[in-house]
Structure 1
Amino acid sequence: MDTDTPNHPAHSHFLSLPAELILTIITHLADDRPALCSLAQTCHYLKPLAEEHIYSTIELLSTDDLRAIITAFSRDPQRVGAVNTLKILYKHHDALSTTVEERQTFNRYVKQMKLLRDWHVESPYDNFKWAHGGFEWVDEDMEEFRQSLESAALHSGQPLVEEIGLAKLEKLIIHSHGADTDFWDLKDFHCLFRHPSLRYLHVSCLNLPSDIPELEPYAAQTPLQTLIFDECELEPRSLGRILSTPKSLKHLTLGENVHNIKRDRGIQPKLSNAPDEAIEALAPVAHSLETLIHIDPKFNTLPDPFHPPALRLRGSGMRNFHKLHSLECDRCSFLHQGIIANRLLAPPNLQTLRMYNPRKMDSSFWDDLPEHTSYTQLPSLRLLEFIETTTLRTSAFLADYVGDFDRTRERHAYAYKLFQHNIDMKMFAEVHHHYGLIPPYLDGEETPVRLCLYDSSDIGFHRVVQDETHHLSPIISKVVPHPASESASAGFDIHILPSTSSPDDNPEDQEARETDHLSKRDVARLRNQIWRTMQRHRAANGRAPPASITMNLADGGGVVLELVTDDGGTDDEEDDEDVDSDDLDYAVFEDGDFDDEDEEDEDGFEEEEEGGEEFEDAEEGVYVDGDGEGEGGEGDGTPAGVPVITALATFTAADDDELD
């Protein structure tokens, strides 16, 4: 971006303003690049002030941009010093190997970026493109980056040099690989853990050696607060060396290699296979660590990962981790089996425990929750979360599956046992947009989203409980299309959900008591909430728009159903004629929903062959099944094409199970 200016100064009332006011005005234009460029071309006085913002953020999404930025830097080296945020995110293309020289020219400027605070690097050869020039990235680009980091790193016995490139770096993300493999060796990149200002470090596919003795002189000397290992090959001893260098590490993610195991790497759980050594490696951060995440491949090696063997650890475990308040792992992790399962070794102030179910597990938290005793024995625990993975494709089935009557009641009964020990429970669906997409997630890739589908604190355990078997349930009804329209929608089964009280009962006169009981109305409402949550998420990702069914009185005394979308609009009479069961199916399962890469169902439940989405309205207690068969009926004055509810029969409590 060239902002070279003429040699003669501009005469303007603007320049007569106080310098502080001019700086304030320019700062307000920080996000308006065209305006800043115009301002920089006005005169030499404004040029450096504007360029501080123009060049503060450099995002290289393509090597096509290299020549322009190199030219701009060569014309005015001060522009290099203005860079505050740098993102090197080249996309792969066939001619990438011809850009090595230009890339190296730009990489040498990185060493001169004295104000750089945020740096994000991704290899364009990632995702199995190493054969097309991956060795050049490793030998040329990564080596240049290493030298820049080494120059700014701490060196034992030498004074800290502050006026040097990368000396002010605070955040660094590196996604790379080896010359012909998924993983890159640490080697001399231990300078990553000797940086004098780095506070946030995220590295992926890094292969640690068995030990890193070079880090021994730098114990408790760096300001690192967040460290994320993502799909890395970790070794307990070298991990201990790394964790010895920060003064006060607060957030740690131990992401071992779980997904990249199909080529040159097998399943090698390093930490859970050496639990005592792993706890010893964590010891240097016991005084400061607040959150800990362990992503463990151990489950892939066990015959029954849902019931892993117990662990007996030596020493005091994590009793000295007084600041640790949040822990996330799966049930096979050494942290769960060795620490959480033994309250005498658990962190004394742990408040949140997050349990996730890895992909490809045969069992599901929706069906089978772990034994609760080990959790209720943790005196400080206040929140227990369970996370189950699913895909955007299978998410359409979750309302029926998760909201099943028996599953919901069992889940709530489990949560009640926790509630009696002052522990809340939440359950999440971690929705993956594409099943074939695995960590580390690169720029532009959709990351999983966690959606809360159950929250015990929202549902509560105090309600008026009545004997539902003492009352006749409301009618079962059938939707009947108006005979005036030949293209009217096929009939839909409509169930008016049973009431938990008789018409003469007044809930306000009854006292709510503590219970884990859920009525049919409660379960239906919860399933409706799950359905809405999933539909809104699908709509936000280009799938079916959220909708609900509302009931209105029709002419002649009938009841009219209207399909209401999120924007509040309803289908008009013309559209109603086109709403049949196939349309309802299509609204949920669009073309492209069933991708080749999504063929595998990892959720552990059977999918319905016929599709058909269920629409519910919790307020009115209406349940609509899009697969219903229509029946003819007599007209009653309702507009053509509008379904009308007519009574067919009544049923007693003996028929209740049909609604479960």
Structure 2
Amino acid sequence: MASLPLLSVPTELLLAVVEAIDDAASLRSFALTCKLARLLAEPVLYRTVLVATGSQASCLAEALQQQQPPTRAELVQVLSLQPTYGSNENVEELTPLIGAMTQLRALSMEIPFANYSYRRSRVINRGWERLMQGYRALFLDAQCGAGLQKLTSLTIHWSGDDSRFWLLTEFKPILTLPALRSLTVSCAVLGDDLAEGLDAFASTTALTHLGLVECFVSQEALTAVLALPRALRSCHLGIMRYHTPPSNNYHEASPEQQLEALRQQRHSLQQLTWFDKDFAYDTDVRRVSTAPGTGLYDFTELHALTLDGASALLFSNLLSECAPPNLDRLRIIRHDEGTVLDHPVGGVGYARIPSIPPPVALHQYLPKLHHLDLIFTPENRWNIEPLLAKPDRRDRVKRLGEDYHARGIRLAIFIAKRGNVIPPYLSGEQVPCEEPAYCAENAWFSVPEMA
């Protein structure tokens, strides 16, 4: 101790010093100096763990197997398994040890070939199956009370062994983890068989956020899953848009059936993102849909709604007595170059189900609305010039913004930079970035750079 004066200071101060060190190598060197240094440093070293290669997984597995108290597995609170393709061999060595991470709060898992379209080789398939066997055992044990009991956040970006999809039915215990509050899954099939036995857990789970990204969902499964939370606060309904259906044996829930399933959480839902599967690149919405029952009217807690695509059903709700009474922010994402802005205010473009709601209608049916965001994501990500270049379009949008402003609604227009990937967005991939193009208070911004 005399040769290490740093260790002679109060333990509370040492803890503060260790917490402030953000260099893992330095922290490891400090941990190797003595037992006290190890006890102070390892909780910080193992608190948040990122595994990007199979070799990292092997080294971590070896370290976690050293059973010196406290066990290192018990120190892990955040674990991200994001192995890159070509460097994912031996990742399955870590899987059996996750169940021993009894203090684990957040778990993020990716399959290294989730977004790849090539045909998998037998070697890849064998690796996938070994990994999935370990994951199945992990979540089955969690249902029996071992491990993951304190997990509050779970994100899964997987794919199947011979398709882009995986079956959530094989991992059903995920849905009933006792402390889980946030669940996001992508490329999952939620078939009718998933609903079996879930009625026993209705209105019992702690889940407050549910994200379904590029998922294939049946009506029965969605109804059963959305019945589980006591009080869901936010939901991302990203029903499959970009991927090929997994099989003709599945019957996808219609928008009306999705809304009916969502009604089970109308007492608590505050934020909703809704993907329209059949979004169009044209300038107007030509479909008409009748809102079933009371629509969104009794979603009294809903204050933020994002429509990704031209949802006729949701527009029917917003421009009628079925609108949510307390909605504060509406975001509309259109997958075109903004030519809809060429429509005159109050003209033909606003007939029937419009692609941009007219100010008078939003003011009438959404009395609490204060923010309207329009996001354009051009199919050609380099072609943004038409949105900003035409003087007559600028004048028309300016008048539109003034009309909204007169009714207490702030209009803002954004352009989303699109990368070369599609959802789900995996680690390291370019996520669309929204650049401001127009704000009713500040007129037009400069043209965003799309490089």
The answer to whether the aligner puts 1:118 opposite 2:106 as a matched pair is: yes
Match for residue 418 of structure 1? 404
The letter for the 1-side match of 2:29 is S
The letter for the 2-side match of 1:351 is D
Structure 1 unaligned segments of length 5 or more: list them. 1-8, 156-160, 460-525, 544-660
Alignment of structure 1 residues 53-452 onto 2, 5 Å = 53-76=44-67, 78-93=71-86, 99=89, 102-126=90-114, 127-129=116-118, 131-132=120-121, 133-153=123-143, 161=145, 164-210=146-192, 212-261=195-244, 270-271=252-253, 273-275=254-256, 277-299=257-279, 306-330=284-308, 332-342=310-320, 344-358=321-335, 361=336, 364-368=339-343, 370-372=356-358, 373-378=360-365, 379-390=367-378, 394=382, 397-398=384-385, 401-434=387-420, 437-452=421-436
Tell me, in whole angstroms, the C-alpha distance in 2 between the residues paired with 1:305 and 1:233: 28
The answer to whether the aligner puts 1:530 opposite 2:421 as a matched pair is: no
CA offset digits 1:418-459 (Å, max 9, x no partner): 22322121111111133xx11111110111001111111334
Match for residue 628 of structure 1? none
Greater CA radius of gyration, 1 or 2? 1
| Cα offset, 1:242, TM superposition | 1.0
CA RMSD of the aligned region, Å?
A: 2.7
Tell me, in whole angstroms, the C-alpha distance in 1 between the residues paired with 2:436 and 2:338: 19
Tell me, in whole angstroms, the C-alpha distance in 2 between the residues paired with 1:394 and 1:265: 35
CA offset digits 1:328-369 (Å, max 9, x no partner): 114632542331132x111110111111113xx587344346
Question: SS where residue 120 of structure 2 aligns?
Answer: helix
Percentage of pairs with the same residue: 26
- C-alpha contact (below 8 Å) 2:58/2:91 kept by paired residues: no
The letter for the 2-side match of 1:179 is D
- C-alpha contact (below 8 Å) 2:158/2:166 kept by paired residues: yes
Question: SS where residue 430 of structure 1 aligns?
Answer: strand
The equivalent position to 1:18 in structure 2, one of 10, 28, 51, is 10
The letter for the 2-side match of 1:279 is L
- C-alpha contact (below 8 Å) 1:59/1:88 kept by paired residues: yes
Q: 1:363 to 1:306 in 2, by over 3 A?
A: farther
Tell me, in whole angstroms, the C-alpha distance in 2 between the residues paired with 1:217 and 1:146: 21
Tell me, in whole angstroms, the C-alpha distance in 2 between the residues paired with 1:432 and 1:32: 34
- C-alpha contact (below 8 Å) 1:329/1:335 kept by paired residues: no
Tell me, in whole angstroms, the C-alpha distance in 2 between the residues paired with 1:457 and 1:387: 17
TM-score scaled by length of structure 1: 0.61
The letter for the 2-side match of 1:117 is R
Question: SS where residue 329 of structure 1 aligns?
Answer: strand
Tell me, in whole angstroms, the C-alpha distance in 1 between the residues paired with 2:434 and 2:441: 18
Tell me, in whole angstroms, the C-alpha distance in 2 between the residues paired with 1:182 and 1:364: 34
What is the aligned length?
432
Tell me, in whole angstroms, the C-alpha distance in 2 between the residues paired with 1:448 and 1:331: 15
The answer to whether the aligner puts 1:458 opposite 2:447 as a matched pair is: no
- C-alpha contact (below 8 Å) 2:306/2:331 kept by paired residues: yes
- C-alpha contact (below 8 Å) 1:357/1:365 kept by paired residues: no
Alignment of structure 1 residues 34-45 onto 2, 5 Å = 34-45=25-36
- C-alpha contact (below 8 Å) 1:167/1:196 kept by paired residues: yes
Structure 2 unaligned segments of length 5 or more: list them. 344-354
Tell me, in whole angstroms, the C-alpha distance in 1 between the residues paired with 2:28 and 2:241: 47
The letter for the 1-side match of 2:325 is P
- C-alpha contact (below 8 Å) 1:318/1:346 kept by paired residues: yes
CA offset digits 1:139-175 (Å, max 9, x no partner): 321232232223334x7xxxxx5xx422211211111
Tell me, in whole angstroms, the C-alpha distance in 2 between the residues paired with 1:428 and 1:117: 35
Q: 1:371 to 1:169 in 2, by over 3 A?
A: closer
Q: 1:249 to 1:183 in 2, by over 3 A?
A: same
The letter for the 1-side match of 2:15 is L
| Cα offset, 1:75, TM superposition | 2.8
The letter for the 1-side match of 2:135 is F
Tell me, in whole angstroms, the C-alpha distance in 2 between the residues paired with 1:331 and 1:341: 17
Tell me, in whole angstroms, the C-alpha distance in 2 between the residues paired with 1:250 and 1:316: 20
- C-alpha contact (below 8 Å) 1:431/1:449 kept by paired residues: yes
TM-score scaled by length of structure 2: 0.87
Question: SS where residue 232 of structure 1 aligns?
Answer: strand
